[in-house]
Amino acid sequence: MNDKRNKAKEQIEWLRQEIERHNRDYYVKNSPTISDFEFDMMMNDLAALEKAYPEFASADSPTNRVGSDLSTAEGFKSYPHKYPMLSLGNTYSIAELEGFCNRIATSSSENVSYCCELKFDGTAICLSYINGKLKRALTRGDGTNGDDVTANVKTISSIPTSITDDGFDFEIRGEIYMPFDSFERLNKEKIDSSEVPFANPRNAAAGSLKTLDPKEVRKRGLQCVLYHIIGENLPFSSHSEAIRWAASKGFPVSEFSRVCKSTAEVVSYIEEWDVKRKSLPFATDGVVIKTDDLALQKKLGYTAKSPRWATAYKFKPEEALTKLLSIDYQIGRTGAITPVANLEPVRLSGTVVKRASLHNSDQMEALDIRIGDYVYVEKGGEIIPKITRVETSKREAGAVHPHFPEKCPSCGSMLVKDEDEARHYCNNELCPMRIKGRFLHFVSRKAMNINAGEATIEQLYDNGLIKSLPDLYSLTADQLISLDGWKEKSVNNFLESISESKKVPFFRVLYALGLRHIGETTAKMLASHFGSMESLSRATKEELLAIDEIGETIAASLSAYFMENGHIEMIHRLKAAGLQMETEKREKLSNLLEGQSIVISGNFSVSREEIKALITAHSGKNTGSVSSKTSFLLAGEKPGPEKIRKAETLGIKIISEEEFYSLINNN
């Protein structure tokens, strides 16, 4: 193979991997790290390379498949789609869009009409109605199967659960989205309770739809717009007619759609909305252009990934020009330093931007930024906007170079930058900012849920009342009342919430300690596996690595943490204060699984933790991976193919959830 082909092959493989990773961040984690524009450009590069080197094309490539939102966690059952749920082709170029219209026009002998619609930036939904009743709501999933989110969709009041039956069953598809005002409110709540906010309204909508508690979903202010009706023998001849029918039945449809009779009309719709979208109360990322005539749609058909009768024209990401006032250097509880720009407030995509991330020192150098510069800000994949470039033509004389600190602005210790890391770190465990960060994490809602915000923590720390986490539990009313702004009532409330926190279960205590890489899910898993802080702290690296969900990073973080005497001593003090250091013991139910070593895989009708607890309660042992010692593999929905294969090879019995219940006689 010559050099160029080799390079192309490598590049294709790299792009596929990167795109898959970003697909997971976007669709499954709801937490993208790049902008849609950057993602689309990677897709374009991949498609171009696959075209130039067809020998490396593959049906498996992301250019031929839709991204998947199927949950890997428990909680949602997936069902097959009656009709595949595809994606849309897209372009950022008017010339390419005109090409699309021309191709459609040449395949019809008549004058073609296009229905132009806004491209709502939310998450796709498919509602099926049988005999006029809403039967099921599925997410797009991987296009073939979707997750059942009916209970959550029913909390959106604009979606009718039943309509007067016109004698045909149908599916109606559309978008669930979160308007800017609900998004801002939700993120404010998240920030107030020290949770990670959503990056954008789209992720907030998708994440909310995959929330397990419909009561919580109801509070989120989700909206829906429907834009596609499918079924057998539908009595419509055009798309716009079908949508008018949907509106007459009470379905929420867009008021901004327009039937255009020529390419020029399509282009002027796009130009009009590229301006008007900036004042809409929700996010749009483009315009969708659909062939209006349904017979022509049928004739044009589909590729493996998208319809040939529709495409999306996507708007370039919005940017705003504003002045850089100053730069703060923030220190997180892990010690990482982030330069954050303070900006003259400016409106961007529906919200007011005052701060933007500068990421790290390399980025600041690359931008060649000065204090007082006019800079362009853009919303990328992350919550906090980024500065994309400097408008040097507006640079005033005397604009000063920012000085990236050599020492920690909080504790003065020298900052360290590892060669392969872009960020600088303060490695001083006793750095006041890092300590405050640890306290804030400790009191946050998902951790100990103590009623204290940044200002309270700051005040208590600055007054020398709290230095280490257990100090919170020896605070007295006398100490608090002597501080500025505290009244008897606030003192009592605060002490009450500290006392209440002693009841939070062990896994949350573990999460609250804020070990690197130990998020809520990992903490839950560790708590259920080890049962107590004592046995977790004694686990060897090998024992940790033997657990399915634990890799090198987490094992290393745990080992390092428990090596430090200071941490052990702190845990002893927290235990003495009355915090839960053990998983609540389940009553022993039977000896039915005594001596049995059981591996579980896949999703169950109850949580995995519950299944594990049942195994223990019946005296069995849950182990991570299938070996010759395994008694049986308990397989739920979508079990790991690797485990199934291994069990089959070793001749180990595979039983279903149902069979498991009859085994333990517990329905």
- Residues lying near ligand IVH in the complex (CB under 6 A): 86-88, 117, 119-120, 124, 175, 227-228, 288, 307, 310, 312
CB-wise, 313 or 507, nearer to ligand IVH? 313
For 246, what's the count of Cα atoms within 13 Å in the CB-facing half-sphere? 28
Identify which of 591, 600, 598, 599 has the alpha carbon closest to the alpha carbon of residue 619.
Answer: 591
CB-wise, 124 or 466, nearer to ligand IVH? 124
CB-wise, 97 or 466, nearer to ligand IVH? 97
CB-wise, 116 or 341, nearer to ligand IVH? 116
Tell me which of 4, 51, 77, 119 is the catalytic residue: 119
Q: What's the closest the beta carbon of residue 70 comes to ligand IVH, in angstroms?
A: 15
Q: What's the closest the beta carbon of residue 223 comes to ligand IVH, in angstroms?
A: 13
Q: What's the closest the beta carbon of residue 87 comes to ligand IVH, in angstroms?
A: 5
Q: Looking at this protein, which amino acid is placed at residue 475?
A: L
CB-wise, 222 or 450, nearer to ligand IVH? 222
Identify which of 558, 520, 557, 545 has the alpha carbon closest to the alpha carbon of residue 625.
Answer: 545
Q: What is the CA radius of gyration of the chain?
A: 28
Q: What's the closest the beta carbon of residue 228 comes to ligand IVH, in angstroms?
A: 5
CB-wise, 113 or 322, nearer to ligand IVH? 113
Q: What's the closest the beta carbon of residue 548 comes to ligand IVH, in angstroms?
A: 34
Nearest-angstrom CA–CA distance, 9 and 91 = 25
Instruction: Give the tokens for residue 459.
Output: 């005040």
**Going edge to edge, which strands form the sheet with 123-130?**
133-139, 123-130, 170-177, 223-230
The burial of 193, by beta-carbon neighbours within 10 Å (0-12 exposed, 13-18 middle, 19 or more buried), is given as: middle
CB-wise, 124 or 469, nearer to ligand IVH? 124
Closest-CB residue for ligand IVH? 124
3-state SS string over 247-296?
HHCCCCCCCCCEEECCHHHHHHHHHHHHHHHHHCCCCEEEEEEEECEHHH
Q: Confirm if 583 and 617 have CB atoms less than 8 A apart.
A: no
CB-wise, 81 or 119, nearer to ligand IVH? 119
* 46-75 residues labelled b (16+ CB within 10 A) or e (exposed): bbebbeeeeebeeeebbbebbbbbbbeebe
Q: What's the closest the beta carbon of residue 227 comes to ligand IVH, in angstroms?
A: 4
- Residue for token pair 């915000």: 453
Is residue 365 helix, strand or coil? helix
Q: Annotated catalytic, 215?
A: no
Q: What's the closest the beta carbon of residue 163 comes to ligand IVH, in angstroms?
A: 21
The sign of the dihedral angle between the CA atoms of 205, 206, 209, 210 is negative
Q: Confirm if 183 and 201 have CB atoms less than 8 A apart.
A: yes
Q: Confirm if 335 and 313 have CB atoms less than 8 A apart.
A: no
Q: Looking at this protein, which amino acid is placed at residue 456?
A: T
| Backbone angle region of 604, left / alpha / beta, with phi > 0 → left and psi within -120 to 50 → alpha | beta
Q: What's the closest the beta carbon of residue 72 comes to ligand IVH, in angstroms?
A: 21
Residues annotated as part of the active site: 119
